[in-house]
């Protein structure tokens, strides 16, 4: 059996991650509909105010109320993670299961990986190129161990294929210990 060098999230069974993703998709769908309905209601109230001149103030108030509801719901929607990423790195291969609109699983033998690089300046999108195959893109949740894996850990495992600017990463995030200490400290504060 191969040694596991990195796994996030650590799970005995990936089935629970599938269930979490389905619950998240349902919640996001409800939030999308709430934003659309409240935005539609705000527009309807605004246009109805033109037809009922005597009650114009009530319609303006209702318009403002529905706009506030849409804004609050929209802010909640933006805070939800839009995807999950399960990473498992062993001595010889990298397994990634990516949940966005659907589940996709990829297994990379280290020898077939040509390049791993970030595709944005905020270090939240990764491209993995393999020999003779289409590149695969993944989004990363900011300030999570999945981002830390691609910032620091993969560079130790595959230094020849990682095309990252280590100095820029160190300047923005510090070293690996600082990064993980900061995100775990931040997660602990959220739960207190």
pLDDT band at 1 (very low <50, low <70, confident <90, very high): low
Report pLDDT digits (tens) over 16-44: 666 777 777 777 778 788 888 888 888 88
pLDDT band at 190 (very low <50, low <70, confident <90, very high): very low
Mean pLDDT of 95-103: 84
170, pLDDT greater than 60:
yes
Q: What angle do CA 111, 137, 114 make, to 5 degrees?
A: 25
Rounded-to-integer distance, Cα 87 and Cα 159, Å: 18
Pair 147, 189: CB distance under 8 Å:
no
167, pLDDT greater than 70:
yes
Report pLDDT digits (tens) over 106-134: 999 998 999 999 998 889 899 999 988 89
Tokens representing 125?
């999108």
- Which of 3-17, 71-85, 111-125 has maximum average pLDDT? 111-125
Rounded-to-integer distance, Cα 138 and Cα 19, Å: 20
- Cα 142 versus chain centre, distance: 7
């Amino acid at each position: 059996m191969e040694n596991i060098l990195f796994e996030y999230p650590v799970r005995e069974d990936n089935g629970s991650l599938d269930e979490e993703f389905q619950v998240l998709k349902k919640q996001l769908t409800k939030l999308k509909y709430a934003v659309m309905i409240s935005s539609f209601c705000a527009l309807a109230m605004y246009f109805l105010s033109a037809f009922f001149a005597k009650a114009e103030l009530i319609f303006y108030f209702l318009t403002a109320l529905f706009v506030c509801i849409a804004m609050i719901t929209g802010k909640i929607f933006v805070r939800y993670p839009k995807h999950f990423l399960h990473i498992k790195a062993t001595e010889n291969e990298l397994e990634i299961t990516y949940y966005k609109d659907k589940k996709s699983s990829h297994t990379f033998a280290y020898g077939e990986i040509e390049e791993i690089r970030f595709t944005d300046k905020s270090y939240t999108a990764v491209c993995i190129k393999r020999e003779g195959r289409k590149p695969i893109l993944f989004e990363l949740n900011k300030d999570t161990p999945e981002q830390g894996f691609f910032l620091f850990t993969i560079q130790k495992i595959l230094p020849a294929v990682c095309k990252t600017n280590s100095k820029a990463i160190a300047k923005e995030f510090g070293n690996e210990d600082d990064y993980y200490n900061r995100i775990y400290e931040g997660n602990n504060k959220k739960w207190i």
